Amino acid sequence: MKNDLEHRAEVAVPLNSRRKFIRAAVTTGGAAILSAELAVLTARGNADTAAQIVLPAATKDVTPFKVSVPQGAIDDLKRRLASTRWPERETVGDWSQGVPLQKAQALVAYWRDKYDWRRFEARINAFPQYRTQIDGVGIHFIHVRSPQQNALPIILTHGWPGSVVEFLEVIGPLSDPTRYGGRAEDAFHVVVPSLPGFAFSDKPAETGWDVNRIARAWATLIPRLGYERWVAQGGDWGAGVTHALAHQRPPGLIAAHVNWQFVFPEKLPEKPTPAEQKAIDRAALFANDQSGYFREQGTRPQTIGYPLADSAAGQALWIYEKFQSWTDNHGNPEDALSVDAMLDDISLYWFTDTAASSARIYWENTRSGKAGLSGGRIELPMAASVFPHEIFCPPKAWAEALWPNLFYWNEVDKGGHFAAFEQPKLFIEELRKAFRSRRG
């Protein structure tokens, strides 16, 4: 059996030859969706490759998957962190030039000395995970079926620099509400995929994977899991994918919810209301001062990938900055998210070497014109929750103008860009309230 697995890994496609250092668990043969028969792929023996792994090849079967990063990769990370070379201190007293050196060094020291990846690995492996090939790319996802037969299937899509990690806290309450003080009729079957190029999904070896193509892949994934009537949810690029799904209206998709709304009017109002002005101002601030990462990732994802693939500190701070800038905090990201939670996400990017491949989603969508502030007119029934510390918060009137079937809109009082990660209870409540009218 082990030979089979090694053989599989040896005939990796060009893509996989670069997928190094994830020792993944893989089932052999046509496993059913819920099969738990797993065989662990051992890491290769020699010293050079002890930190490298190859993702199991995906087929159109839905194959159970578990995460097991080889110790060699963890040791390599700690060695890199211990030998980090630093820039000088910033010349300002705040975050305006990026992560302050002192904060950076504290985060890296914690990552090296205290952070426990195995804790996270056990946590994510407690969820049923799978990989299946769609449109040529192996897609990794968590899939938790509710014990409630009539539960509503939902696909939750993360963005950048997020991941499936953002949703781990909400999967239990969404899929099994009665265990968490909720009502059986609020139950969801929950599907949480990793975007192509992110985490344990394959890295596309060809161009074209913009939000439209990802949305089509999701519309293939859901029926493959046996669902005929479903809803979609997302924030950040996940909102982009969800807007795209709403446009495409694949069979069975009955409604969508987004926690970031791309509803800017084509022509900005000449006399904006205070709420409109605030959205315009926040979008302008983003364009002028906060979108350097976006422009670089949108134009030269490969070049920015080199330092981030090679420097663990570089990868960590590239992401950490966003946790500070985009969460609802009092100045420090730790006000909104625990250090361990942030490092779970950062470590996932690091171990999977996905800095360049995740940055590429900006290049793809910039090229295909899907990176704008307006998703255009959407006929599908739409729901939205506005978290106040989002990058920009459009007023309801703009959504009403573009979404004729807007059926739910709520502005909550706390939380930011990483809604489910920062405010899991509120996020759950929003999804329950939003989709209550779409059931049955």
Interacting residues with another protein (CB under 8 A): 14-15, 18-19, 80, 84-92, 97-101, 104, 203-207, 288-293, 295-318, 321, 353, 355-357, 360, 363
Minimum distance between the CB of residue 315 and another protein, rounded to whole angstroms?
Answer: 7
- For another protein, the closer CB: 362 or 398: 362
Of residues 134, 255, 249, the one with CA closest to residue 195: 134
Minimum distance between the CB of residue 179 and another protein, rounded to whole angstroms?
Answer: 41
- For another protein, the closer CB: 120 or 363: 363
Instruction: Return the structure tokens found at 27.
Output: 């089932």
- For another protein, the closer CB: 294 or 407: 294
Minimum distance between the CB of residue 53 and another protein, rounded to whole angstroms?
Answer: 13
Alpha-carbon distance of 31 to 66, in angstroms, equals 14
Q: How far is CA 252 from CA 103, 153, 216, 245, 380, in A?
A: 47, 10, 13, 11, 11
Minimum distance between the CB of residue 218 and another protein, rounded to whole angstroms?
Answer: 20
In a 3-state reduction of DSSP, which class is residue 220?
helix
- For another protein, the closer CB: 230 or 363: 363
Query: What's the half-sphere exposure (Cβ side, CA atoms, 13 Å) at 81?
Result: 23
Element (H, E) at 280: helix 274-285
Minimum distance between the CB of residue 87 and another protein, rounded to whole angstroms?
Answer: 4
- For another protein, the closer CB: 292 or 388: 292
Minimum distance between the CB of residue 230 and another protein, rounded to whole angstroms?
Answer: 30
Q: Residue-wise over 282-301: b if at least 16 C-beta within 10 A, else e? A: bbeeeeeeeeebbeebbeeb
Cβ-Cβ contacts under 8 Å for 120 (sequence gap 6 or more): 165, 340, 344, 347
For every residue of 319-344, DSSP letters joined together read HHHHHHHHSS-SSSGGGTS-HHHHHH
* Cβ atoms within 10 Å of 210's Cβ, excluding its own: 22
- For another protein, the closer CB: 215 or 304: 304
What's the N-to-C CA distance of the chain in angstroms?
45
Of residues 196, 212, 213, the one with CA closest to residue 204: 196
- For another protein, the closer CB: 147 or 292: 292
* Cβ atoms within 10 Å of 311's Cβ, excluding its own: 18
- For another protein, the closer CB: 341 or 356: 356
Cβ-Cβ contacts under 8 Å for 410 (sequence gap 6 or more): 384, 385, 386, 430, 433, 434
Minimum distance between the CB of residue 325 and another protein, rounded to whole angstroms?
Answer: 9
Minimum distance between the CB of residue 217 and another protein, rounded to whole angstroms?
Answer: 16
Minimum distance between the CB of residue 97 and another protein, rounded to whole angstroms?
Answer: 4
- For another protein, the closer CB: 76 or 185: 76
Alpha-carbon distance of 343 to 120, in angstroms, equals 10
